[in-house]
Amino acid sequence: MARPIEDITPFTLLDYARYPSAIVWFCGCNMRCGYCYNPEIVHSRGQLTSADALEFFRGRRQLLKGVVLSGGEPTLYRRLHHFAKELKAMGYKIKLDTNGTRPEVIKRLLQSDLLDFVSLDFKADRDSFAQVTKMPAKAYYEVTRTLGLLLDSEIDFEVRTTVHEQVLDARAVQNIIADLAKMGYDKTFFVQDFLDGADTIDGLEASAKPYDTVSIIQAANKNGIAVNFRNF
């Protein structure tokens, strides 16, 4: 029997604002970002079936209001639509964390009203995308397609980028901001600093060089986009 889920974090007040939630960690990812701090999830064959997870959530309806679908990359799971539908039938709000490379999956979820919030990880600008993600450069345009779907929908969502001086410099983040503005993104853009202390795919440690947040603020102001720094 397929075991697409590595683990469930049974309770969080941080990952889905306003809703006490649990996090479902889906195995596998089509990216290999060097700063990824979930290598065991990316490479895992899974510990839990979807039936195991649904049984957990049936017993938590009085405690939890939301479910965060994370990973890994949840949209790789071929029965994600069915899984989300079952959770919705239980009354849960659903937040999806995604790298945006599977726009057709996200499109179907949006059309079925199965998502309430999306966090889109915009991993890199066009020029750095292949180097950062270890995916073909053309996959960048799948991410922009996903952003377009979210912009055309009525769903609440955010765009965020994780930074590390050795992986993605400030100039690349400035390019991301310019691309977001061109597409009509007018929400807050979240820039997340690399969290040291966890094992990562490339074994990265904290950068000795402070990140250039000033130029990012200047680029955001120039393009009319609000920027929020997390973990800095």
pLDDT of 206 over the 90 cut: no
pLDDT of 204 over the 90 cut: no
Q: Architecture of domain 5-230 in CATH? A: Alpha-Beta Barrel (3.20)
Residue 141 phi, psi (nearest 5) = -75, -20
- For residue range 172-188, what is the model confidence (pLDDT) as tens digits? 999 999 999 999 999 99
pLDDT of 203 over the 90 cut: no
Least trusted range by pLDDT, from 100-104, 149-153, 210-214:
210-214
Torsion of the alpha carbons at 230, 232, 182 and 126, rounded to the nearest 10: -110
Q: What is the pLDDT of residue 25?
A: 98
Q: What is the pTM of this model?
A: 0.96
- Strand bridging mode 189-193 / 156-163: parallel
Percent of the chain with pLDDT over 70: 99
* Better-scored residue on pLDDT, 72 or 204: 72
- For residue range 115-140, what is the model confidence (pLDDT) as tens digits? 999 999 999 999 999 999 999 999 99
DSSP 117-164: EEEEE----TTTHHHHHSS-GGGHHHHHHHHHHHHHS--EEEEEEEE-
Q: Categorize the per-residue pLDDT at 209 as very low, low, confident or very high, splitting at 50, 70 and 90.
A: confident
Count CB atoms within 10 A of the CB of residue 122.
Answer: 25
Domain ranges of the chain: 5-230
- Strand bridging mode 5-12 / 21-26: antiparallel
Rounded mean pLDDT, 64-92: 98
Q: What is the pLDDT of residue 205?
A: 85
* Better-scored residue on pLDDT, 63 or 198: 63
- For residue range 3-56, what is the model confidence (pLDDT) as tens digits? 999 999 999 999 999 999 999 999 999 999 999 988 899 989 899 999 999 999
Element (H, E) at 82: helix 80-89
* Better-scored residue on pLDDT, 113 or 232: 113
Q: What is the pLDDT of residue 1?
A: 67
Least trusted range by pLDDT, from 18-32, 69-83, 154-168, 185-199:
185-199
Element (H, E) at 105: helix 103-111
